[in-house]
Structure 1
Amino acid sequence: MAKTTHIAVISSPGFSHLVPIVEFTKRLISHHPNFHVSCIIPSLGSPPESSKSYLETLPSYINPIFLPPINREDVPKKAYPGVLIQLTVNLSLPSIHEALKSLTSKAPLIALIADSFAIQALDFAKEFNSMSYLYHPCGATVLSLMLHMPKLDEQVSIEYSDLKEPIKLPGCVPLMGSDLPAPTQDRSSEGYKQFLERCKRVSLAADGILINTFLEMESGPIRALQEEWNGKIRVYPVGPITQIGSIIEANDNECLKWLENQPPSSVVYVSFGSGGTLTQHQIDELALGLELSGVRFLWVLRAPSDSVGAAYLEAGNKDPLQFLPSGFLERTKQQGLVVPSWAPQVQVLAHSSVGGFLSHCGWNSVLESMQEGVPIIAWPLFAEQRMNAVMLADGLRVALRVKFNEDGIVEKEEIAKVVKSLMEGEEGDAMRKRMRDLKDSAADAIKDGGSSTQTLIKVASQWENMGGI
């Protein structure tokens, strides 16, 4: 009988952090069925229903362990989301330690894998005689920045956004200081201090860093990382890892029925991810810009992020369509469809009538769009999304970036222009072709014998050789 190899993965709080690391473990086990995975999950307050229902679908060899939730009273009320995530993990470290102690009392733990925000937990690996790995859910370009950030912090004395020259990381597309992740935009902030601390720890991930990207997509950054660190830091590109292989069927969904009646590649899909919201002013401009473009659209709309939206949510309202400009739905009923809050994104992107994706450039959305061959209009909002937008637009040339005015608003004329360029212009056609080539490369990478599959098998074989029970 084959031995069972036990590993533990540690997520950070929130659905969008949980899914990437769990999908990684599912991919791992699809190639190595003798693995048993314990998934340790910190949370702030009660775990969200989305996380609970997602975890209920997991196979028996992935065992979720919800830690005692951190009391919301123990964290600052209006802190930046990244700060809240980090504080939740920090306060959960004693519980993580207890969970690992309990697991290792039953069977040896071969490897400990932590999400970027939970990297401190890798300090426990030595105590439990486990190998330690970081699971980096973003791309190699962001990883490169994190590894270079301590040095950058020492070399630069001003705010990064005030730098006149671009930052040139080995193998990466040049980045302006204003395009670095959101926490770096105020170097005196708690968010920056925590980000810098995480960056300093990345190089200490003793046995390797698993990256959710693939060689054909980010060959420059991946090769530069491998050469520059010369084996001191082992990077393992194992992506693209998305929910595409485990999506919930949504065949009766309204927007999919609507898409059935649209011509091929004629619709721009508009969505800012599970956490992306706009102000009321920006919603107005986006609505009028889509109308002005004359292009067919499918728009996932959430309540605005300003005080108007907060009052709406507190009142328990469920219909964000009330925030659209007066008469907009009537005027555009032949042109587009607006759906409240959610759409089955993977199925939408896979639909033949969708020809473009206006996106916040969250990494999951980037990979999903790539796997379906859909070019992007890049409208980054927070986190590392501006970096992703630069890589997509300047590096891979599969995206158009929107231009913000001095008040941080994308005006309706600019929206109409980029939508028409992507959906109707020669530039858009060229991007569509390049994105289709990347789609083929992404599929090849995770096939049997593909670059990412071979990398994953190499890592898993090391774990199996460490022994099991």
Structure 2
Amino acid sequence: MEFFLPFLRATKQLQKPFEQLLETMVKSTAAPPLCVISDFFLGFTLASCQALGVPRLVFHGMSVLSMAICKSYCVNAAQISSLSLLDPVDLPGMKLPFTLTKADLPGETLNSSNHDHDPMSHFLKEVVEADANSWGVIINSFEELEKDHVPSLESFYMNGARTWCLGPLFLYEKMEEGLEKSFNQNQDPSVSAQWLNEQSTPDSVIYVSFGTQADVSDSQLDEVAFGLEESGFPFLWAVRSKTWSLPSGMEEKIKNRGLIVSEWVDQRQILSHHALIVNGAGAGISVGRVRNQGSETLVSRQSIAEGVEELMGGQEGRSARERAEALGTVARTAVQKGGSSHDTLNKFIDQLRRC
């Protein structure tokens, strides 16, 4: 993570060649681009698009609700800072479908109001301002899941910018058919794919991943390992740490039941497998019990084990899996002709053509 900010700042060096390319496309082609879709962190694209009269849309990988919470948190950080870690947080103008605590909120780097001279905060201020002044926002989600929270997110944008829910985008590629076929044919199977193929019972494996940017301590990874082992359920866990190693004796305990991989994994392929569960709103179990270990606050192994046991074998977990299956059906319908995301995509293109 020490390279994260230098990397982000280095992307600004792309502005000049990006602008030259965009200018060539606008002035020298028969069909100039309708818009530019830019990652949130590439805030420099806004000035180039405005100079050339091309609408700039910002793309967020997060959901509507997550983005609205983050933006509201930044605005109300002063009031929230006085709360203790497990105090409930009330965000003005937002009706949350769950109880939010201070512990659930993102790190202090998103709160730029108190760190005006911090380089990361300065960079974030720039990209947040570019975000707010974009023509619109593209979200990789669907209206049936997010429509109640769209007004909250749009309130943080200028000039009537709209939020366009066009996802789940990967379903446009007919992922289920294509990836399941590749599994069945074992085309260039990875270690994880081979292992998953051996787990023949549907909904039998829990997949654990903290993404590519989360900085999880070795102590917390220990708690996760012991929690997964104590739960008794099969698991596939992607671990990216360069310093952590499996606790002594753990390898034998999880033999034939758990797979820990350190290399890059194809998450879309894994989540399409018949042995895994996909979580969505109302389709998961909260694991929130924490304990203090020195100066570090950890989610305990007992809490993790109980959460996995309930998700995989309890009544609440059964309801969560049913909800996940129902959401999956709605998501697939959304991207088909006549579905909400398909219709929104057509409206989105039509409005761009009228610009």
Tell me which interval the TM-score lies in, with the shorter structure as reference length: 0.7 to 0.9
- 1:253–1:147 Cα change, 3 Å: closer
- After superposition, residues 10-409 of structure 1 pair within 5 angstroms as 78=2, 81=4, 83-107=5-29, 108-145=32-69, 148=72, 151-152=75-76, 156=78, 159=81, 166-173=89-96, 175-182=100-107, 183-184=109-110, 187-188=114-115, 189-205=118-134, 207-225=135-153, 232-242=160-170, 245=173, 249=182, 251=186, 252-262=189-199, 263-276=201-214, 278-304=216-242, 308=243, 323-355=245-277, 374-375=278-279, 392=281, 396=282, 398-406=284-292, 407-409=296-298
CA RMSD of aligned residues (A): 3.2
For residues 142 and 400 of structure 1, the distance between their equivalents in structure 2, rounded to whole angstroms, comes to 16
Q: Secondary structure at the match of 2:62?
A: coil
Question: Per the alignment, in what secondary structure is the counterpart of residue 298 of structure 1?
Answer: strand
Any idea what the Cα deviations from partners look like across 1:254-273, whole Å, max 9, x if unmatched? 33332333333222122222
Alignment-derived partner of residue 40 in structure 1: none
225 and 253 in structure 1: CA distance in 2 versus 1, 3 angstrom threshold:
closer
Of 391, 411, 435, the residue aligned with 2:324 is: 435
Report the CA distance shift for 1:95/1:166 in structure 2 as closer, same or farther (over 3 A).
Answer: same
User: Could you tell me whether the CA contact under 8 Å between 2:220 and 2:298 is conserved in 1?
Assistant: yes
Within 1, Cα distance between the matches of 2:318 and 2:172?
A: 25
Percent identity for Structure 1 against Structure 2: 26
**Closer, same or farther: CA 449–169 of 1 in aligned 2, 3 Å:** farther
Q: Is the 8 A contact 1:171 1:223 kept in 2?
A: no
Which amino acid counterpart does residue 375 of structure 1 have in structure 2?
N
Work out whether residues 160 and 178 of structure 1, in 8 Å CA contact, stay in contact via their aligned partners in 2.
no
Instruction: State the secondary structure of the residue aligned to 2:298.
Output: coil
| Equivalent pair of 2:137/2:161 in contact (CA under 8 Å) | yes
d(CA) in 2 for partners of 1:285 and 1:157?
A: 32
1:79-111 residue CA offsets vs partner (Å, 9 max, x unmatched)? 6x2x33541233332332223233334223432
Conserved 8 A contact 1:139-1:212: yes
Q: For the residues of structure 1 that align with 2:247 and 2:157, how far apart are their CA atoms? A: 53
For structure 1, which segment, 246-255 or 419-428, has the greater mean C-alpha deviation from structure 2 after superposition? 246-255
Tell me the amino acid that sits aligned with residue 147 of structure 2.
S
Consecutive unaligned residues of structure 1, counting only runs of 5 or more, are 1-76, 310-322, 356-373, 377-391
1:433 to 1:165, Cα distance in 2 relative to 1, 3 A: closer
Please tell me whether the aligned partners of residues 160 and 185 of structure 1 are also in contact (alpha carbons under 8 angstroms): no
Question: Following TM superposition, by how much is the alpha carbon of 1:215 offset from its aligned partner in structure 2, in angstroms?
Answer: 0.7
Which amino acid in 2 is paired with 1:424?
A: G
Alpha carbons of structure 1 residues 126 and 280: separation in structure 2 relative to 1, 3 Å: closer
CA contact (8 A) 1:150 1:199 kept: no
> Partner letter of residue 405 of structure 1?
R
Structure-1 separation of matches of 2:218 and 2:75 = 40
Which runs of 4 or more aligned residues in structure 1 lie more than 4 Å from their structure 2 counterparts after TM superposition?
Answer: 145-151, 160-165, 223-231, 246-250
Q: How many residues of Structure 1 are paired with residues of Structure 2 in the alignment?
A: 333
Tell whether the 8 Å contact from 2:227 to 2:304 is kept in structure 1 after alignment: yes
- Matching residue's letter, 2:224: L
Contact 2:35/2:352, CA 8 A, preserved across alignment: yes
Distance of 2:94 and 2:272 partners within structure 1 = 31
Please list the CA deviations of residues 144-184 of structure 1 after superposition, one character each: whole Å capped at 9, or x if unmatched.
3465567536xx36737659551325344264444333223
Pair 1:295–1:440, CA change in 2 (3 A): same
Task: Output the CA distance in 1 between the equivalents of 2:260 and 2:75.
Answer: 46
Aligned-partner residue type, residue 411 of structure 1 = S
Work out the CA distance in 2 between the residues paired with 1:157 and 1:103. 47
Distance in structure 2 (CA, Å) of the matches to 1:144 and 1:279: 28
Give the C-alpha shift of residue 289 in structure 1. Answer: 1.9
